[in-house]
């Protein structure tokens, strides 16, 4: 079975396709922006990468969301709820973690079917 990499670099790829599954790297938004803006940026990146892989958000199997501060959970969810394909909502987990820099407030990791 072949492996296809999207936006591959020396450290990581933004997406890897193996079989009928696409694995996205953790996506982050504009550093220093609001939680809403960062979430919207992340979701746009997810849409773009899924399209390049030949799929879309209706086929997301799992979403793992890391937040720098869980007090921002409702703000992130407001952006997520406007975007997610309700009838096809993925399995999802959200947790608090120290992200790569203090400027990042949200990071989302996606696994989807093709």
pLDDT tens track, the chain, 114 positions: 899 999 999 999 999 999 999 999 999 999 999 999 999 999 999 999 999 999 999 999 999 999 999 999 999 999 999 999 999 999 999 999 999 999 999 999 999 999
Give the CATH superfamily of 3-113: RutC-like (3.30.1330.40)
In the numeric block, the tokens 């193996």 are attached to 18
Separation of alpha carbons 46 and 62, rounded Å: 13
pLDDT of residue 47: 98
Burial 4-21 (b: 16+ CB within 10 A, else e): eebeeeeeebbbbbeeee
How big, in percent rounded to 5, are the helix, strand and coil portions of the chain?
Answer: 35, 35, 30
Distance CA 80, CA 92 (A): 11
pLDDT of residue 102: 96
What pLDDT, on a 0 to 100 scale, did the predictor assign at position 1?
Answer: 82
User: How far separated are the first and last CA of the chain, in Å rounded?
Assistant: 15
What is the model's pLDDT at position 7? 98
Place of tokens 């959200």: 94
Taking the domains of the chain in order of start, what are their residue ranges? 3-113
Q: In sequence order, what are the residues at sequence separation of 6 or more whose Cβ sits closer than 8 angstroms to the Cβ of residue 58?
A: 85, 88
């Amino acid at each position: 079975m072949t492996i296809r990499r999207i936006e591959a670099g020396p450290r990581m790829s933004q997406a890897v396709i193996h079989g009928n599954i696409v694995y996205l790297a953790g996506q982050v938004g504009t550093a220093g922006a609001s939680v809403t803006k960062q979430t919207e940026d992340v979701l746009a990146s997810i849409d773009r990468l899924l399209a390049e892989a030949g799929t879309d958000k209706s086929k997301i199997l799992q979403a793992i969301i890391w937040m720098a501060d869980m007090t921002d959970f409702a703000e992130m969810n407001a952006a997520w709820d406007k975007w997610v394909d309700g009838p096809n909502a993925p399995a999802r987990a959200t947790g608090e973690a120290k992200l790569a820099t203090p400027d990042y407030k949200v990071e989302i990791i996606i696994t989807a079917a093709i």
